[in-house]
Amino acid sequence: MKQTWWKEAVIYQIYPRSFKDSNGDGIGDLPGIVEKLDYLQALGIDMVWFSPIYASPNVDNGYDISNYYKIMDELGTMQDWETLLEGLHSRGIKMMLDLVINHTSDQHEWFQEAKSSKTNPKRDFYIWRQGKEDSRPNNWKSFFTVPAWSQTPETDDWYLHLFDPRQPDLNWKNSEVREEIYRMMRWWLDKGVDGFRMDVINLIAKDDNFADFPNPDAVFEMSEGGYANRPGVHDYLHEMYEKVLKHYNIVSVGECVGVNPENGLLFSQSSRQELHMPFAMNILWEAPPLSKIKKYLREWAAHINQDGWYGLPLGAHDYARQVSRFGNDQEHREVCAKALATLLLTNPGTPFLYQGDEIGMTNVAFSSEKDYRDIQFFNEYEDLLKNGKSPQEALLQLQPTSRDNSRTPMQWTAEPSAGFTTGTPWIKVNPNYLEINVENNETNPHSILQYYRQLIAYRKTNKGLIYGKYQDLLPEDESLYCVERTWEGQAWIILLNYTSQIQPIPTVIQQNLLPFQVALSNVAQSENSKLIPWEARVYQREGA
Ligand code: GLC
Ligand code: CA
């Protein structure tokens, strides 16, 4: 297997709006991030992925781009961006930009032109269809609950948008669109960007028949026969590779909807020359029971043997907080956050950390729907009301899953607004910031943050955790995760308790562990025969 920097990298995702505000307007910005570069360096990460920083009306917090060549006003200037890039590079940290090219904002000049008339030269940059009997061309629903087709006042055609109506989908069939996108990618790469995370990239090719779906409510489940992986997607990505990606020493990561290790291989296999890796997202979507998580992890690890690679996130800006979803954010929050970190950072796939998870930030439950900010939240909320739920019921249902759970401001200190801003934050701070914040984590030698630093450093010096063979020693167990990694005569065993109860260590595992020693653990004292709730250990055996 070929060894490369992006297989060895630990990547940290920043949601710029919520990371650090420098000018008191309540919105995180690029100079704010610059203030925290030493923090990122001390964490030991190799690359930062920035959720979109381009000009945008912020209907979907930057995932609706109105100008790919400009920085969003609220985030700063191109000069600020240069300073950020320089600051990262001088610390040996690479920069990954989010590339949102399935759709643009309706405020993008392409769409402004395209919608103006049926004969406008940019008309074909988007996907227009005639309606059927005064109604939409088909029954497709967007990922944001509303129908996937809308009209503009200028003409009677309908345009396709797999997300919000203000996020019209680009027409990838049009080679002019593709050339424009490639030109823009080269422009950023020539400025020194080190990689792209490609937003919903396997949706760019559309089903040309535009036939009705049997179950239009199940947009996510329909990933295979529905919106994702339509014929043409691999041709486009290969073309992008030929025309852009292969000319740079960069990394390309695909957010692929409905991806599994099997179809994921078609994106990542190096001989296919498309992308370097898809995210192993099936784990994230479902937050399934442990045996299923283990099955997915085994499958993804096997995917590597077929010349593929994958990125592994446990948290991101589209999901509830990892410690709340997968684990225990109450009495076992600290040990649990560390256990999840252990699982993530001892896995072969490139680990993606999400801001705030390194201090164990949790979900929030706002008591009023007015405190939520996410477009998806409001669409779902409206939908629930339409279907007869009371406002209180709708709120309670959406609290645990809302994307805003992971978008509350980064908790830096116990000062007002968690030290995120001196003004009023654009979204409320999680009230638990008095207890959960970076400052506390810095002063406590046993904090979650310190443990993340240790784990990251350990991964760097033990490459077998990246390249080594992956063997699941307890595939069926619903309580314990126990994986052996072997590489060049060295071996590691990762053992963790995935429950909030004490768990005995099976005798066979105890036997296996005899030649090993604990190298890292998330509790002060451990016993040979049992694990306390969420206890995690990394064992190591030197030389054979
Ligand atoms: C991706 C992004 C998400 C966004 C959507 C539309 O899933 O991660 O935040 O809303 O694409 O761009
Ligand atoms: Ca600001």
Look up residue 372 and give its amino acid. Answer: Y
Q: Which ligand is nearest to the CA of 21?
A: 2
Q: What's the CA gap between 125 and 101, in Å, rounded?
A: 12
Whole-number pLDDT of residue 81? 98
Structure tokens at 146: 């509303």
- 40 touches 59 (CB < 8 A): no
**Distance of alpha carbon 234 from alpha carbon 61, whole angstroms:** 28
pLDDT at 437 over 70: yes
**Closest listed residue to residue 327, CA positions, set 315, 337, 316, 341:** 337
* Contact present, 15 and 356 (Cβ < 8 Å): no
Q: Tell me the percentage of the chain whose pLDDT exceeds 90.
A: 90
Range in 130-144, 411-425, 469-483 the model is least confident about: 130-144
What are the structure tokens assigned to 316, written together? Answer: 């991101």
Residue-wise pLDDT tens digits, 23-62: 999 999 999 999 999 999 999 999 999 999 999 999 999 9
Pocket test for ligand 1, best of 60, 170, 203, 401 (most atoms within 8 A of CB): 60
Taking the centre of ligand 2 as the mean of its atom positions, its distance from the CA of residue 443, in whole angstroms, is 27
Choosing from 96, 103, 106, 199 the residue with most ligand 1 atoms within 8 A of its CB, the one to mutate for a pocket test is: 199
**Gap from CA of 22 to ligand 2 centroid (Å):** 5
Pocket of ligand 1 (CB under 6 A): 60, 63, 100, 163, 199-200, 255, 317-318
Residue closest via CA to ligand 1's atom 9 equals 318
Residue 526: per-residue pLDDT: 85
State how far the Cα of 192 lies from the Cα of 21, in Å rounded to an integer.
Answer: 25
Residue pLDDT, tens place only, 184-223 = 999 999 999 999 999 999 999 998 888 888 877 776 655 4
Nearest CA to ligand 1 atom 12: 63
DSSP line for 380-421: HHHHHHHTT--HHHHHHHHTTT-GGGGTSPP---SSGGGGS-
Is residue 277 very low, low, confident or very high in pLDDT (cuts 50, 70, 90)? very high
* Structure tokens that stand for 168 in this block: 């019209």
Which atom of ligand 1 is nearest the CA belonging to 257? Answer: 7
Residue 229 has pLDDT above 80, yes or no: yes
Q: Which ligand is nearest to the CA of 98?
A: 1
pLDDT, position 94: 98
Alpha helices for 269-390 (secondary structure H): 281-286, 290-305, 322-325, 333-345, 375-386
Identify the DSSP state of 219: T
Q: In this model, does residue 466 exceed pLDDT 70?
A: yes
Pocket test for ligand 1, best of 50, 63, 160, 256 (most atoms within 8 A of CB): 63
Of the candidates 401, 404, 409, 447, which has an alpha carbon nearest to the alpha carbon of residue 430? 409
Q: Is the pTM of this model over 0.85?
A: yes
Q: Which atom of ligand 1 is nearest to the CA of 316?
A: 8
Tokens of 47: 């690359």
Chain center to CA of 225: 24
Confirm if 2 and 466 have CB atoms less than 8 A apart. no
3 state SS of 83:
helix
